[in-house]
Amino acid sequence: MPDLTPGVPSALSPLVRRIVARNPGPFTGPGTNTYLVGIDEVAVIDPGPDDKGHVDAIVGASMKERVRWVLLTHTHPDHWPAAKRLVKSTGAELLMFTKREKGVDLVPDRVIKEGDTIEGSEFGLEVLHTPGHAPNHVCFLLEEERMLFTGDTVLDGMYSVVNPSRGGDMAVYMKTLERLKKLRLRGIAPGHGDVIEEPKVRLDDYIAHRRQREQQVLRLLKKRDGAKVVELVGDIYGNDGLPPELVEAAGWQVHAHLIKLKADGKVTGTTAKAAWRVA
């Protein structure tokens, strides 16, 4: 069983290796997963936080010149900052879904789009635009192994955060999950946690969880018309059910659900601090 010890490369399949970064936490699980796809020509997916030791581990796992591409699932700070150092030390080509991203100090060598394939000598990685967690989020499908690299769209051991103040969109996210469910997958390699061996079961669970939460938010609001997000969070998790950093994240989720319910014509309201009402 490949382990999740930071800094240690572990082989997940003939073509895929994983190195976990040293940034464990409530939102990153054991740490960010960096994936190395290919042997002779390597694509690195999500180099992670800017940590020299982690970049050394990535470079050390292959011969420098074999690292040909650096790919990002999205530009949240636990996924991209090592890209600069990695590109510098390997000469790899940096591929991004967007040309420029606010607060992201990277200039791509090439912009990739939905449907593109990164062709290595041993593999093809197809680009799927999968917005929801972030507007610029992409997944990569390794055709040879039907393995999907999902970044933060699907995780192991926790649910993904959809934060409206960072571009998260629940309605779009749920459409993305439905789309992923239609792919024939053998495995999911998430941005955090271990490989998911039963992709369909996990995707069904993710979709059911979001639908149930949406219904719960609507039910609670019917009982407590004019509630603010923080009050609904208290109703859902209990007053001392969650540590403070997770209370904030729970608020983002509830707000994201309310925005979707508003688009569906079921509730009215604006910000997290505003009063929300049943339409």
To Zn ion, the closest distance from the beta carbon of 218 in angstroms equals 29
Note the helical H segments in 91-198: 170-181
Structure token pair of residue 139: 């997944």
To Zn ion, the closest distance from the beta carbon of 76 in angstroms equals 6
The reply on whether position 51 binds Zn ion by CB under 5 A is no
Site string for Zn ion, 111-150 (x = CB under 5 A): ----------------------------------------
Q: Which is nearer to Zn ion, 68 or 79 (CB)?
A: 79
How far is it, in rounded angstroms, from Cα 260 to Cα 194?
30
Nearest to 227 by CA among 215, 217, 242, 216: 217
Site string for Zn ion, 183-222 (x = CB under 5 A): --------x-------------------------------
The reply on whether position 152 binds Zn ion by CB under 5 A is yes
Per DSSP, what are the bridge partners of residue 127?
140
Q: Which is nearer to Zn ion, 152 or 156 (CB)?
A: 152
Residues annotated catalytic, as ranges: 78
User: Residues 184, 187, 193, CA angle at the centre, nearest 5°?
Assistant: 145
To Zn ion, the closest distance from the beta carbon of 78 in angstroms equals 4
To Zn ion, the closest distance from the beta carbon of 274 in angstroms equals 29
The reply on whether position 46 binds Zn ion by CB under 5 A is no
Among 41, 46, 51, 78, binds Zn ion (CB under 5 A): 78
Q: Which is nearer to Zn ion, 167 or 191 (CB)?
A: 191
Contact 102, 75 (CB under 8 A): no
How far is it, in rounded angstroms, from Cα 117 to Cα 128?
10
Q: Which is nearer to Zn ion, 145 or 152 (CB)?
A: 152
Structure-derived torsion over alpha carbons of residues 127, 129, 132, 133, reported in degrees to the nearest 10? 30
**In sequence order, what are the residues at sequence separation of 6 or more whose Cβ sits closer than 8 angstroms to the Cβ of residue 29?**
155, 156, 157, 158, 192, 193
Name the site residues for Zn ion (rule: CB under 5 A): 78, 152, 191
